């Protein structure tokens, strides 16, 4: 990445007005990437990509092995490419550098080769070496992969992305040659519902689903426009105004990642989460797992160590609304349906 692109001014995350649902979903995924990514659905011009870029700018830098195309972690064998792992096993000295958490934008017209990487068959046969040209999944390892208009992306490619995001590995097979490399990233997809829905079986694979709406209150709209104008006039000064808040939020995220292991959720709360999923006819167990993970991440973010019903109430709509079967005759928003079921089972007001 050139110096110029890495220093392009990014709108500060803490200065973004509204869109709390989306901001919370992204922060929780950054604290616990095992939640499984976020699908952001909303109107055009609501700042979806601005918020994702702002989040990446907020994240702490990561240690990587120098000149490694996979952002290999110098200390964790699970996150190393084969080449680095070989050196690591031989106790060879690894040159370590710090880089910004990577964020990869997936272009809409990307081919599978561009995404997964390609194997140079000729070179492999003539020279007997595995000549692999890494793709976007390699670059996204240990970072965020952002797909705008994910509902317009070819279903097969969405499948490939979701498989890699879930397993943390990307496998490319051509003519009997197989290459495997780490591809552990947070998948963030965004789309406009007017341009078509994502297939339910693909939608279910995203951990959380945030809905963002155009802000209606005139005073907030004016504030958003003013913020944008101030930022465009002098990005450096604008960022300085929010630097203290940005640093505090970054520290909270770092602490939450540490605290996550200590967070406890009582068995009866897990049972009630499963009861809600069962009452709402949610297929599979992903909904149960994601809800408890998200609630724990929220507790860690708030620097506590015990999950309460209120924490579950805060995250459960984000975790389940996209997993409900669509009834074309129902006008009620699925988020309200989830909350109603929660209130009945938890006897919560």
Instruction: Give per-residue pLDDT as tens, 130-180.
Output: 678 888 999 999 999 998 888 788 878 888 888 888 888 988 887 777 788
Written as six digits, the tokens of 34 are: 């095992």
Mutual angle of helices 309-320 and 267-279, in 10-degree steps: 30
Listed residue (31, 22, 47) closest to 298, CA to CA:
31
pTM given for the model:
0.87
Domain ranges of the chain: 3-61+100-212, 261-346
Three-state secondary structure call for residue 128: coil
Among residues 53, 286, 321, 323, which one is catalytic? 286
Would you state the pLDDT for residue 127? 63
Of 29-33, 239-243, 266-270, which gets the smallest average pLDDT? 239-243
Give residue for tokens 């995924």: 29
Of 77-86, 101-110, 332-341, which gets the smallest average pLDDT? 332-341
Residues contacting residue 225 through CB under 8 Å, at least 6 positions apart? none
Would you state the pLDDT for residue 1? 38
What whole-number distance in Å separates Cα of residue 83 and Cα of residue 168? Answer: 17
Residues contacting residue 94 through CB under 8 Å, at least 6 positions apart? 65, 66, 74, 84, 87, 88
Which class in CATH covers the domain with range 261-346?
mainly alpha
pLDDT tier at 258, thresholds 50, 70, 90: very high
Instruction: Give per-residue pLDDT as tens, 98-114.
Output: 999 899 988 888 888 88
In this predicted structure, the answer to whether residue 328 has a pLDDT above a threshold of 70 is no
Domain 3-61+100-212, what architecture?
3-Layer(aba) Sandwich (3.40)
In this predicted structure, the answer to whether residue 348 has a pLDDT above a threshold of 50 is yes
What whole-number distance in Å separates Cα of residue 26 and Cα of residue 52? Answer: 8
Query: Which of the 8 DSSP states describes residue 333?
Result: -
Would you state the pLDDT for residue 6? 45
Would you state the pLDDT for residue 220? 81
Q: What average pLDDT does the segment 220-232 reach? A: 84
Pick the most confident of 83-87, 209-213, 315-319, 331-335. 315-319
Q: What does the DSSP assignment read for 250-299? A: HHHHHHHHHHGGG-B--HHHHHHHHHHHHHTT--SSHHHHHHHHHHHHHH
In this predicted structure, the answer to whether residue 274 has a pLDDT above a threshold of 90 is yes
Query: Which of the 8 DSSP states describes residue 104?
Result: E
pLDDT tier at 251, thresholds 50, 70, 90: very high
Would you state the pLDDT for residue 3? 37
Would you state the pLDDT for residue 297? 96
Does residue 286 carry a catalytic annotation? yes
pLDDT tier at 327, thresholds 50, 70, 90: low
Instruction: Give per-residue pLDDT as tens, 194-208.
Output: 777 777 777 778 899
What is the rounded radius of gyration, in angstroms, for the C-alpha atoms of the chain?
Answer: 21
Instruction: Give per-residue pLDDT as tens, 17-55.
Output: 778 888 999 999 999 998 989 998 877 766 777 888 888
Residues contacting residue 18 through CB under 8 Å, at least 6 positions apart? 215, 220, 224
Per-residue CA distances from 115 to 170, 225, 293 (Å): 10, 36, 29
Would you state the pLDDT for residue 285? 87
pLDDT tier at 316, thresholds 50, 70, 90: very high
User: Are 193 and 41 spatial neighbours (Cβ–Cβ below 8 Å)?
Assistant: yes
């Amino acid at each position: 990445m050139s110096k110029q692109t890495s220093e392009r001014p990014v709108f500060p995350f803490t200065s973004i007005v509204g869109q709390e649902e989306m901001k919370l979903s992204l922060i929780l995924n950054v604290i616990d990437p095992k939640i499984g990514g976020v699908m952001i659905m909303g109107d055009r011009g609501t700042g979806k990509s601005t918020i994702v870029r702002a989040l990446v700018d907020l994240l702490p830098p990561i240690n990587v092995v120098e000149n490694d195309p996979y952002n290999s972690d110098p200390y964790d064998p699970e996150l190393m490419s084969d080449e680095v792992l070989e050196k690591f096993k031989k106790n060879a000295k690894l040159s370590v550098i710090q880089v910004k958490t990577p964020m990869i934008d997936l272009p809409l017209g990307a081919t599978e080769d561009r995404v997964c990487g390609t194997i140079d068959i000729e070179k492999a046969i003539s020279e007997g070496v595995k000549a692999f040209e890494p793709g976007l999944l390699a670059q996204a390892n240990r970072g965020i992969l952002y797909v705008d208009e994910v509902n317009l992306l070819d279903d097969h490619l969405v499948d490939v992305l979701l498989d890699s995001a879930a397993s943390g590995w990307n496998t490319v097979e051509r003519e009997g040659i197989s290459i495997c490399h780490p591809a552990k990233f947070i998948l963030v997809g965004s789309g406009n519902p007017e341009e078509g829905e994502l297939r339910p079986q693909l939608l279910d694979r995203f951990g959380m689903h945030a809905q963002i709406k155009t802000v209606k209150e005139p005073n907030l709209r004016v504030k958003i426009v003013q913020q944008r104008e101030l930022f465009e006039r002098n990005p450096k000064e604008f960022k300085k105004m929010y630097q203290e808040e940005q640093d505090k939020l970054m520290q909270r995220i770092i602490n939450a990642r540490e605290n996550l292991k200590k967070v406890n959720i009582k068995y009866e709360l897990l049972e009630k989460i499963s009861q809600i999923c069962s009452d709402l006819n949610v297929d599979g167990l992903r909904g149960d797992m994601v809800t408890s993970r998200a609630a724990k991440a929220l507790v860690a973010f708030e620097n506590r160590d015990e999950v309460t019903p209120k924490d579950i109430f805060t995250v459960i709509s984000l975790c389940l609304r996209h997993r409900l079967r669509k009834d074309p005759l129902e006008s009620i928003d699925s988020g309200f349906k989830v909350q109603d079921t929660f209130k009945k089972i938890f006897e919560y007001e």
